[in-house]
Amino acid sequence: MAVVSGLDRTACLQGMLARPLVAAPFTGWLLGAPLVGLEIGTLLELLWLSRLPVGAAIPHDDTQVAVGATVLVVTAGPLAAGLRGLPLVVLCLLLALPLGKLGQYCDRFARQRNQRLIGRTEVALAAGQLGAVERSHFLGLGHFVGAALASYLSVVACGTLLLWQLAPLLAPVFVAAAPWLRLAFFLVGSAVLINTLNLRRALPIFATSFAAALLLFWFFAEV
């Protein structure tokens, strides 16, 4: 899943399989926990909705963060110091988020390697060596495969190590704070989305929506 979704980002297909809202639930389904993947994908999607890998832009690797965080939640239970459910999901997400920066470096390295193939491919094409052109094409895809795998393994390996070290210390805090942290994901993601709309009244709209959401929470709590 890490390789297929990684290739879908820019190298080929581009069928939106790389979006966290798709990649995380699909990974969860493969691991027998689709609802875990759906929750992770929902929390992550808004954060990167405005930062797409288009043209020369290389954002953090949200795809492998989504896939890796799902794998962490499903497989790293014994390391989680008794954390289950939402607290474990939020902790794994917070551990995986900064590791997306490593995926950015991997993606940049793959693109730099592919730039070196351009001259070789042009020479082969001018000489009519179509086999060499085809090999260069597949080699370029291979670079992106390597970048996706390196990014995924970085998230899972570093995330597992951090979870093992930090879960015993943070478990009491996350049991109590997990619902508020989940709400923070939606609020920050909504703010990011509103900021992309380039509205002069974006702040009042956000404040009004936030107040309306709080009123709804209060109303249903009272009912």
**Residue 52 pLDDT grade (very low, low, confident, very high; cuts 50, 70, 90):** low
DSSP per residue over 151-189, as a string? Answer: HHHHHHHHHHHHHHHHHHHHHHHHHHHHHHHHHHHHHHH
Are the CB atoms for 36 and 74 separated by under 8 Å? yes
Q: What is the pLDDT of residue 3?
A: 81
Higher-scoring residue by pLDDT: 152, 129: 152
Q: What is the pLDDT of residue 198?
A: 58
Are the CB atoms for 156 and 68 separated by under 8 Å? yes
Average pLDDT over residues 137-150: 84
pLDDT at 81 over 80: no
Distance CA 199, CA 191 (A): 12
Are the CB atoms for 4 and 154 separated by under 8 Å? no
Average pLDDT over residues 102-123: 82
Higher-scoring residue by pLDDT: 142, 221: 142
Average pLDDT over residues 4-15: 78
Distance CA 47, CA 61 (A): 12
- The mean predicted confidence, pLDDT, of the chain is 79
The pTM assigned to this predicted structure is 0.77
Distance CA 181, CA 165 (A): 21
Are the CB atoms for 159 and 96 separated by under 8 Å? yes
Token representation of residue 117: 């193939």
